[in-house]
Chain A
């Protein structure tokens, strides 16, 4: 022990509270060369190391999904850190989920019949082509494209081609996600085309939500083929999708009828991620709507995607039946088109 050394256990307590684990480890071996001080410091540090366990709080359940999705997205895109924005995280979550799903498909699964598209491979090629629209609008270089679903190839090369389609789709998605930096405010304003019959051009933040939406819907298409249950996105992502649908609805209502964009509509969407919206935007809620539609928010999203028939849609409607059907048809026109 150093004779000149003055023991100051209270200062050691301050050090134990402030030091990082690595610094603590280094300092313990050289703490004034004093074994007594090192032992005291180690003891206090050990106590500090347990302080964090004194008040555990269970985090919101959705945070687990968000953390794991961000981790998977980081792997898919080779990205570091969080997905950067709620919209990007929503997209990354669906990309990761679909990629995991595709990873488990057999060659026969890739050939399985899918309504509207022919088979799973053609479906993913369609999704990839729509992703490419956003990538192109962001000025991203098109990755090697060999997505033609009807490409004649030998049966023994099916598997290789399936994986190629999957890889091209995933690389495009990753390219788009990589363009959303940690501080994305300006980039999220960049205009991109949305897939669908209305040929809307919207800020990238909406483009990302639509890519998340379409990726989810087509993942559910694959699940249906495999007889797997549907997997709706987390509630906060459902909310983003519903909000986008509501923002786009006036355009669809205008296309449906002259003056349709001004039709007063109230949407009451139940379930996690739901809410109540008044259309047109800014309308005084005190003004009675012409049509009120009340339904489950996930079902609303499926109607948006064209996965529910407007004529058979399960909802509580208040208003003229023809007007209600016009609104439901307008909603159903807002999907990616396939």
Chain B
């Protein structure tokens, strides 16, 4: 069965995808890839600043989904969340092995890169708008903590700001984002509604 990607992906879409992944249907893997690879690869390439490493991370994430479809439970959370977490943790692991070196700039770079999809779910636009509306230090602190797994202290050192500013900036920025998403009708942890 071909999964119709024209239908907006919702909980039912993900449950169907889940069943077909468990059945070893590679068209389901292709559908998941087509839908989520730009987020997975985007996280990986922004976190590492290394396109080759980002490809390896992307392959790892989708092969893990293929080989362990049971880790994805559509009743507990959306696939997007699982895949983004896998990409992020894999990228952070790699940075801890090889060092962050040139990766800081890519993590803080908000210029569109070649191949950036022009559209995405409305929630993604909300996220981007909120983050771009934050002061640069606050946005950078959030992205360093997210993409590089840095502590408040490490973020503060990296950005040459007081640790307290990093703490409060990250908290208030995330809270602002959460409020904006709620206002847009996006469910925080449940299946995608945007």
Residues of A within 8 A of B (CB): 9-10, 12-14, 16-18, 20-21, 25, 42-60, 63-64, 66-68, 70-72, 74-75, 80-82
- The answer to whether B175 and A43 touch across the interface, beta carbons within 8 angstroms, is yes
Chain A: CB-nearest residue to B144: A17
A44 to B178, CA, bound (A): 6
- The answer to whether B37 and A59 touch across the interface, beta carbons within 8 angstroms, is yes
Q: How far is the CB of A26 from chain B (nearest CB, A)?
A: 11
The residue that B58 contacts in the complex, of A12, A63, A74, A75, with Cβ under 8 A, is A63
- The answer to whether A54 and B84 touch across the interface, beta carbons within 8 angstroms, is no
Contact (A59, B55) CB under 8 Å given A10-B167, A47-B181: yes
- The answer to whether A56 and B55 touch across the interface, beta carbons within 8 angstroms, is no
- The answer to whether A68 and B127 touch across the interface, beta carbons within 8 angstroms, is no
Query: In the complex, what residues of A have CB within 8 A of residue B181's CB?
Result: 46-47, 50
Contact (A43, B116) CB under 8 Å given A52-B42, A68-B33: no
- The answer to whether A59 and B188 touch across the interface, beta carbons within 8 angstroms, is no
The residue that B188 contacts in the complex, of A17, A43, A55, with Cβ under 8 A, is A43
- The answer to whether B175 and A53 touch across the interface, beta carbons within 8 angstroms, is no
The residue that A59 contacts in the complex, of B41, B110, B152, B174, with Cβ under 8 A, is B41
Q: How far is the CB of B165 from chain A (nearest CB, A)?
A: 11
Query: In the complex, what residues of B have CB within 8 A of residue A49's CB?
Result: 80-81, 84, 188-189
Query: In the complex, what residues of B have CB within 8 A of residue A9's CB?
Result: 171, 175
The residue that A42 contacts in the complex, of B88, B170, B188, with Cβ under 8 A, is B188
- The answer to whether B178 and A47 touch across the interface, beta carbons within 8 angstroms, is yes
- The answer to whether A57 and B63 touch across the interface, beta carbons within 8 angstroms, is no
- The answer to whether B120 and A47 touch across the interface, beta carbons within 8 angstroms, is no
A55 to B39, CA, bound (A): 7
A81 to B61, CA, bound (A): 10
- The answer to whether B58 and A54 touch across the interface, beta carbons within 8 angstroms, is no
Ordered by A's residue number, 21 sampled pairs between the chains whose C-beta atoms are within 8 Å are A13-B175, A14-B167, A20-B85, A42-B189, A43-B175, A44-B174, A46-B187, A50-B181, A50-B186, A52-B43, A52-B87, A53-B84, A57-B38, A57-B41, A57-B113, A58-B37, A63-B37, A63-B59, A67-B58, A75-B26, A81-B67
Chain B: CB-nearest residue to A63: B55
- The answer to whether B121 and A53 touch across the interface, beta carbons within 8 angstroms, is yes
Query: In the complex, what residues of A have CB within 8 A of residue B5's CB?
Result: none
- The answer to whether B178 and A46 touch across the interface, beta carbons within 8 angstroms, is yes
Chain A: CB-nearest residue to B128: A54
Q: How far is the CB of B60 from chain A (nearest CB, A)?
A: 7
Query: In the complex, what residues of B have CB within 8 A of residue A46's CB?
Result: 178, 181, 186-189
Q: How far is the CB of A65 from chain B (nearest CB, A)?
A: 10
Query: In the complex, what residues of A have CB within 8 A of residue B62's CB?
Result: 67, 71
- B24 lies within 8 A of chain A by Cβ: yes
The residue that A53 contacts in the complex, of B80, B167, B188, with Cβ under 8 A, is B80
Query: In the complex, what residues of B have CB within 8 A of residue A47's CB?
Result: 174-175, 177-178, 181, 188
Contact (A81, B63) CB under 8 Å given A59-B37, A59-B54, A64-B30: yes
Which 6 pairs between the two chains have the least Cβ-Cβ distance?
A46-B188, A52-B84, A56-B38, A58-B115, A53-B124, A59-B41
A81 to B175, CA, bound (A): 38
- The answer to whether B37 and A64 touch across the interface, beta carbons within 8 angstroms, is yes
Q: How far is the CB of B79 from chain A (nearest CB, A)?
A: 11
- The answer to whether A53 and B63 touch across the interface, beta carbons within 8 angstroms, is no
A52 to B91, CA, bound (A): 12
- The answer to whether A80 and B67 touch across the interface, beta carbons within 8 angstroms, is yes
- The answer to whether B67 and A74 touch across the interface, beta carbons within 8 angstroms, is yes
Chain A: CB-nearest residue to B78: A49
Interface 0/1 of B8-40, CB less than 8 Å to A: 000000000000000010100110011001110
A265 to B8, CA, bound (A): 56
The residue that A21 contacts in the complex, of B33, B42, B55, B77, with Cβ under 8 A, is B77
Q: How far is the CB of A84 from chain B (nearest CB, A)?
A: 12
Query: In the complex, what residues of A have CB within 8 A of residue B84's CB?
Result: 49, 51-53
A9 to B67, CA, bound (A): 37
